[in-house]
Amino acid sequence: MKKSEKTALVEDLSSSFGRASIALVSEYRGMTAAESTEMRKRLRAVRGEMRIAKNTLVRHAIKGSKYEALDSNLGGQISLILSYEDPVVLAKTFTGFGPLGDKLKLRGAVLDGKVLTAAEVEALSKLPSREVIFSQLLGLLNAPATQLVRLLNEPGSYLARVIDAIGKKNGDKAVAPAAPETASSEPAPEAPPAPETPAAPAEG
């Protein structure tokens, strides 16, 4: 391989490591073409990939990066398994390759700069996925909000009922018929006397 090709490959590997959320190093031997194709297909489905590269090139690619600790896991024929999304989902997918046995034996991994053993990767695979965690977190955040809305709505509903009752009461008063007047206890004024008619003159 020419030097320019090696440089380009190192740069490509460095870019992949820079985008990865987790990186695993496993042994890679005796795997059939069908097994390799199936594994790559399942990794792509979870935004991951498997890469085969020489140890010297990988060492150059991880030097000075948060994945430099993988150096101690290199040697012999190895494969790199990277995730560009949820590391938990990748761990679940990788542990699903268990039937491959020594054909894909995990040596180590690095997550956010922290070195993980094979046992820790196994434990990681048993955690809820990011989507499940977000869903649970959203439920926790929504629960107090729902309670708050209910508490705010209850006094508002009560106030609305009180205002409605007062309005109805005032309306009844406005349309109620006037009460009849009671008879006065004072005597009614006497009518003025009729004027006297003049007496007719007597006949002689």
Total number of domains in the chain: 2
Q: Which residues of the chain have pLDDT under 70?
A: 129-204
Q: What is the pLDDT of residue 98?
A: 81
- Residue 141 domain flag: yes
Q: What stretch of H or E contains 90?
A: helix 87-95
Q: What is the pLDDT of residue 126?
A: 84
Same domain, 99 and 120: yes
Q: What is the pLDDT of residue 129?
A: 66
Assigned token pair, 60: 């150059």
- Residue 182 domain flag: no
- Residue 18 domain flag: yes
Q: What is the pLDDT of residue 13?
A: 93
- Residue 196 domain flag: no
Same domain, 55 and 10: yes
Same domain, 84 and 146: no
Same domain, 91 and 153: no
CATH classification of the domain holding 42:
3.30.70.1730
| This model's pTM is above 0.75 | no
Residue 192 and residue 170: Cα distance in Å, rounded? Answer: 48
Q: What is the pLDDT of residue 177?
A: 46
- Which one-letter DSSP state was computed for residue 186? S
Same domain, 117 and 33: yes
Q: What is the pLDDT of residue 146?
A: 61
Same domain, 120 and 74: yes
Side chain identity at 97, as an amino acid letter? F
Domain around 94? 3-127
Could you give phi then psi for residue 134, rounded to 5 degrees?
-60, -40
